[in-house]
């Protein structure tokens, strides 16, 4: 008994000894900067349709915007109107709610950097490409008369979110980690490159490794997810992802679906966009 | 026989106490009021700017780590220099006085975990508590609750990693309810 106590005492003392003497790492903190992210300016997409605007619905906390990468940062104000190339960065307790001209919404949450790469109408199609470098956002792509080609690029791949409402996206490129949840309707095709996709149904959550329930328990426990039921099969997913333009959500995936193959198309485009952004930003390759 | 056994037991307990006590010097748990220190004069850089620049750094320095932590605790960082920043961190009981406090040294995950557990007043598990909050067990605690995504006590922290950790720390402190859109 006594031996046991002495042994445990020695063990505990040894266990903690290195902690006390932990040294500072020899390397100095570098000021290495990654190359500036490429911004799709109006010039890049000239002749590809009419540029649309994004307006600020509400703002709280410390949030700054720059109209393009060569301009200086200034505070975000309510009713501000931005175009393609605008970047928004937020502080600790900040929140910026944006309304896109096609009635889609984006709420940029705390500690985030968001960029509108492309937002324009061409015929009956509205193309939106936004980029979340780091942080968290919530988004809803509203149904409307025009077809919406909506994608959010991240360093962890591209999300095709057509006809989708209430996305909760959290991206941490430093840890190579991302998670997405979907509350109400639609579907998300998260193309993480190398031919891998993560599909999210209403009421579902997944991280970039496809760990749904575990991550939901840890991270999404503050979200009131509204499950609409599972689509069940991959055939059904095509219908859900392509239901943009329809005014009613059909959880069974049946019915009229003019964009039934949209999920596949998004996946291809997403891979290209995600890869480009990832390389440019110089983040860790996790996949 | 009985006397010697008691002696051995006492010795064991004493060694245990010395071992644990040496793990982390006793400090103030939790976060004290900010009003104890005077605010610095002059213009304060925005936290959004600080975080954006930090996200592009290859490594997070100790100075950046303290600054990020003060923004989390106080909502601002009015410190004039690293010395004042360190004083605030120690005053809050978030950083340990016995550390080297080298502003340009790369912050480690262990130390950042140590600071976060105190700043957020996380209770911690059994081992964390009986070791009086070792960085090692603080890190394990934060890895367990998902705030830090893996790594070891002396792992160097990148700027982007720290930004991600701070984001989850804000969520921990002020959970985000799902908005009606």
Tell whether the torsion through CA atoms of A87, A93, A99 and A105 is positive or negative: positive
A175 touches chain B (CB under 8 A): yes
Which residues from A are below 8 Å from B167, CB to CB? 110-112, 134-136, 170, 172
Closest CA to B103 of B60, B53, B46: B60
Which residue stretches of chain A are H helix? 2-20, 213-219, 234-241, 262-281
Q: How confident is the model at residue B118 (pLDDT cuts 50, 70, 90)?
A: very high
A134:B55 CB<8 A: yes
Using a CB-CB cut-off of 8 Å, the residues of chain B touching A107 are 179, 181
Mean pLDDT, rounded, for B151-169? 94
Domain that holds residue A181: 38-281
The answer to whether A8 contacts B12, with C-beta atoms less than 8 Å apart, is yes
Mean pLDDT calculated for residue range B156-177: 90
Name the DSSP class of B73.
Answer: H
Give how many domains chain A has, as a whole number.
1
Q: Give the tens place of pLDDT for each residue, B56-110.
A: 999 999 999 999 999 999 999 999 999 999 999 999 999 999 999 999 999 999 9
C-alpha distance from B32 to closest chain A C-alpha (Å): 20
CB contact under 8 A, B19 and A15: yes
Separation in Å, CA B127 to CA A266, B29, B83, B138: 48, 16, 32, 9
Q: Answer whether B24 touches A (CB < 8 Å).
A: yes
One-character DSSP codes across A215-246: HHHHHSTTS---------SHHHHHHHHT-TT-
* pLDDT tens digits, A147-188: 888 888 888 878 787 667 778 888 888 888 888 887 777 777
pLDDT for A279 equals: 32
B177/A177 touch (CB, cutoff 8 Å), yes or no: no
Burial class (CB in 10 A: 0-12, 13-18, 19+), B83: exposed
Percent above pLDDT 90 for chain A? 24
Half-sphere exposure of A168 (CA within 13 A, CB side): 28
Question: pLDDT by residue (tens digit) across A196-209?
Answer: 777 777 777 777 77
CA distance A141 to A96: 17
Instruction: Give buried/exposed letters for B14-46 (b at 16+ CB in 10 A, else e).
Output: ebbeebbebbbeebeeebeebeebeeeeeeeeb
Chain A, 176 to 195: residues with Cβ < 8 Å from chain B are 176-177, 183
What integer is the mean pLDDT of B168-180? 74
Q: What would you measure as the largest C-alpha separation in chain A, in angstroms? A: 85
CATH number at residue A225: 2.60.120.1440
CA distance B7 to chain A (A): 9
Residue of B nearest to A165 (CA): B181
Cβ pair A113, A89 in contact under 8 A: yes
A9 and B167 within 8 Å at the Cβ level: the answer is: no
The complex's ipTM works out to 0.77
Q: If contacts are CB pairs under 8 Å, which of residues 67-126 in chain A contact chain B? A: 73, 89-94, 105, 107, 109-113
How much is the mean pLDDT over chain A? 66
Nearest CA to A27 out of B114, B68, B59 is that of B59
pLDDT at A39: 35
**Min Cα–Cα distance to chain B from A36, Å:** 9
The answer to whether B128 contacts chain A (CB < 8 Å) is no
Of the listed ranges A232-236, B104-108, B126-130, the one predicted with least confidence? A232-236
Cβ distance B181 to A140 less than 8 Å, yes or no, reads yes
Q: Which of A151, A147, A171 is nearest to A160 (CA)?
A: A151
Which comes out higher in pLDDT, residue B77 or A45?
B77
């Amino acid at each position: 008994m006594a031996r046991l106590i002495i042994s445990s005492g020695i063990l505990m003392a040894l266990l903690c000894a290195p902690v006390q003497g932990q040294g500072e790492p020899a390397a100095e903190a570098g000021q290495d900067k990654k190359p500036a992210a490429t911004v799709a300016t109006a010039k890049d997409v000239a002749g590809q349709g009419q540029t649309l605007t994004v307006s600020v619905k509400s703002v709280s906390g410390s949030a700054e915007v720059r109209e393009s990468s060569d301009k200086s940062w200034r505070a975000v104000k309510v009713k501000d109107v931005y175009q393609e190339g605008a970047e928004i960065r937020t502080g600790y307790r900040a929140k910026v709610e944006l309304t896109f001209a096609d009635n889609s919404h984006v709420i940029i949450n705390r500690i985030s950097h968001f960029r509108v790469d492309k937002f324009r109408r061409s015929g009956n199609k509205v193309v939106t490409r936004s980029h979340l470098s780091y942080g968290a956002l919530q988004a809803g792509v509203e149904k409307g008369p025009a077809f919406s080609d909506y994608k959010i690029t991240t360093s962890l791949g591209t999300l095709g979110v057509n006809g989708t409402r209430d996305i909760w996206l959290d991206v941490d490129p430093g840890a190579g980690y991302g998670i997405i949840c979907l509350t109400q309707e639609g579907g998300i095709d998260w193309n993480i490159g190398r031919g891998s996709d993560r599909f999210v149904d209403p009421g579902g959550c997944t991280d970039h490794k496809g760990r749904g329930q575990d991550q939901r328990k840890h991270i999404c426990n503050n979200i009131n997810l509204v499950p609409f039921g599972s689509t069940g099969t991959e055939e059904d997913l095509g219908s859900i992802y392509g239901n943009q333009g329809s005014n009613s959500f059909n959880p069974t995936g049946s019915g009229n679906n003019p964009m039934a193959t949209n999920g596949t198309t998004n996946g291809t485009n997403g891979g290209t966009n995600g890869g480009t952004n990832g390389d440019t930003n110089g983040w860790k390759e996790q996949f | 026989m009985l006397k010697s056994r008691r002696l051995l037991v006492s010795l064991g307990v004493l060694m245990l106490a010395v071992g644990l006590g040496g793990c982390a010097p006793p400090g103030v748990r939790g976060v004290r009021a900010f009003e104890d220190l005077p605010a610095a004069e002059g213009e304060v850089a925005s936290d959004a700017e600080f975080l954006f620049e930090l996200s592009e750094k290859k490594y997070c320095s100790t100075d950046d780590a303290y600054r990020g932590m003060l923004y989390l605790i106080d909502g601002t960082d009015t410190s004039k220099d690293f010395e004042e920043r360190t004083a605030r961190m120690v005053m809050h009981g978030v950083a340990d006085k016995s550390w080297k406090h080298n502003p340009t040294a790369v912050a480690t995950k262990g130390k950042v975990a140590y600071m976060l557990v105190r700043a957020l007043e996380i209770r911690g598990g059994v081992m964390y508590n009986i070791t009086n909050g070792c960085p090692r067990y603080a890190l394990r605690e934060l890895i367990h609750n998902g705030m830090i995504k893996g790594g070891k006590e002396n792992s160097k922290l990148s700027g982007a990693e720290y930004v991600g950790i701070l984001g989850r720390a804000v969520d921990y402190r002020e959970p985000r309810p799902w908005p009606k859109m």
